[in-house]
Amino acid sequence: MQVGYFAVGIGPTVNPERVRIIATTAERLGFSTIWAPEHVVLLDEYASKYPYSSGKFPGPADTPIADPFTTLAYAAACTTKIRLGTGICLVPEHNPLVLAKTVATVDRLSGGRFIFGVGVGWLAEEFQALGISFDRRAQRTREYIEVMRKLWTQRSSSHQGEFVNFTNVLSYPKPTSDKGVPVWFGGESGPALRRVAEYGDGWIGFNLLPDQASAKIRRIEELLRAHGRRRRPARRGCKRRSRPTERRWRSGGASGCRCNGQRRRTASERRSRGSASGRAARRGYKRRSRPTGWRWRSRSGSGCRSTGRRRRTTSALRSERSVSGRAGRRGCKRR
């Protein structure tokens, strides 16, 4: 089983430093994916029902939600292995040609690590604010996905449909893979699961317990068989909402903090580090370097590690002082 992190680009994680810390720490700890949500606008008052709670969006309307593609492109620049996904992109709110270009660009910048998590949307008032019809958004989404897959995989593309029409257009850059970008569908309703089985590459559940997720997966498998598809092409993922960032967790025998994901040093490690730092400070050098005043023996006498030069003998020092004194009395400097 692979574990992903949800989410960056929302609330305090719109801060670039937090995005960097979360992305790099998640990659270091072996997380497989990192996700970013999307809403263009929210509203204080709305009649639409949020599908994953009692009907209200689980946060204030002024919650910062960054653009997911910009956020994930930044996370891609901070990492090398972890996969990056939109969780989810509201496809019918976009122009599909522009969206195809954006997705392909992020996939290129990330080296083929992008997962295109998509959904049809639930907030009718958001669609209205954007001047987009809320009706038939599922059909619009399906056609938009078809259009984007053409643009990702064909040199020259044409499409004549209910919502999109164009002839012989070229869209570059292409995604890293010749097959385009994997499309994972979010949602847990019957129609949402059917979309996964009919033309999706994966499924994203939200805030589900293991037994609830298992029931959804079994249903997806039934629908896949009904559409002549095998289980292998479709991937599944379930997201849990992040908890407050200051709660502690246990890992590898030591404690850590969710705010930065770094392992907290044990008491013995802190004592050892403090003791070593204290000794280094008393000697006047950094711990990584060798002490500048350590002496060593060679066949011709003693020397110093800081310069590697042979240390002068006592008689040589007395002779040099005598010569320097005579030079000073003559009014000249000894070089």
Q: Is residue 148 part of a domain?
A: yes
CA–CA separation, 216 and 52 (whole Å): 15
Which CATH number belongs to the domain containing residue 154 in this structure? 3.20.20.30
The residue among 211, 244, 277 that closes a domain is: 244
pLDDT of 256 > 60? The answer is no
User: For the chain, what is the mean pLDDT?
Assistant: 82
288 band by pLDDT with thresholds 50, 70 and 90: very low
Tell me the average pLDDT across 214-226: 95
pLDDT of 39 > 90? The answer is yes
Domain that holds residue 279: 267-329
The verdict on 230 and 317 lying in the same domain is no
Fill in the DSSP letter of residue 310.
B
The verdict on 177 and 324 lying in the same domain is no
pLDDT of 289 > 70? The answer is no
Q: Is residue 99 part of a domain?
A: yes
The verdict on 166 and 277 lying in the same domain is no
Measured in whole angstroms, how far is the alpha carbon of residue 98 from the centre of its chain? 23
pLDDT digits 0-9 by tens, 306-325: 445 556 666 666 666 665 55
The verdict on 148 and 199 lying in the same domain is yes
The verdict on 13 and 146 lying in the same domain is yes
207 band by pLDDT with thresholds 50, 70 and 90: confident
Q: Is residue 259 part of a domain?
A: no
The verdict on 194 and 230 lying in the same domain is yes
Which pLDDT score is estimated for 266?
54
Measured in whole angstroms, how far is the alpha carbon of residue 92 from the centre of its chain? 25
1 band by pLDDT with thresholds 50, 70 and 90: confident
| Side-chain half-sphere CA neighbours of 275 within 13 A | 6
pLDDT of 275 > 80? The answer is no
CA distances from 124 to 46, 48, 50, 64, 90 (A): 8, 6, 11, 20, 12
| Side-chain half-sphere CA neighbours of 171 within 13 A | 25
pLDDT of 232 > 60? The answer is yes
The verdict on 220 and 273 lying in the same domain is no
Tell me the average pLDDT across 64-78: 98
Tell me the average pLDDT across 89-100: 98
Q: Is residue 334 part of a domain?
A: no
More confident call, 171 vs 256? 171
Question: Of 51-65, 173-187, 262-276, which range is least confident?
Answer: 262-276
Which pLDDT score is estimated for 56?
93
The residue among 244, 277, 308 that closes a domain is: 244
The verdict on 324 and 204 lying in the same domain is no
Q: Is residue 104 part of a domain?
A: yes
Number of domains in the chain: 2
The verdict on 213 and 274 lying in the same domain is no
Q: Is residue 163 part of a domain?
A: yes
Which pLDDT score is estimated for 230?
84
pLDDT of 244 > 50? The answer is no
54 band by pLDDT with thresholds 50, 70 and 90: confident
Tell me the average pLDDT across 22-33: 98
pLDDT digits 0-9 by tens, 127-177: 999 999 999 999 999 999 999 999 999 999 999 999 999 999 999 999 999
The verdict on 137 and 271 lying in the same domain is no
More confident call, 87 vs 320? 87
Whether 36 and 66 have beta carbons less than 8 Å apart is answered as yes
227 CB contacts (<8 Å, ≥6 apart)?
A: 197, 198
Q: Is residue 262 part of a domain?
A: no
The verdict on 44 and 180 lying in the same domain is yes
The verdict on 159 and 302 lying in the same domain is no
Which pLDDT score is estimated for 295?
44
Which pLDDT score is estimated for 242?
47
More confident call, 325 vs 292? 325
Q: Is residue 261 part of a domain?
A: no
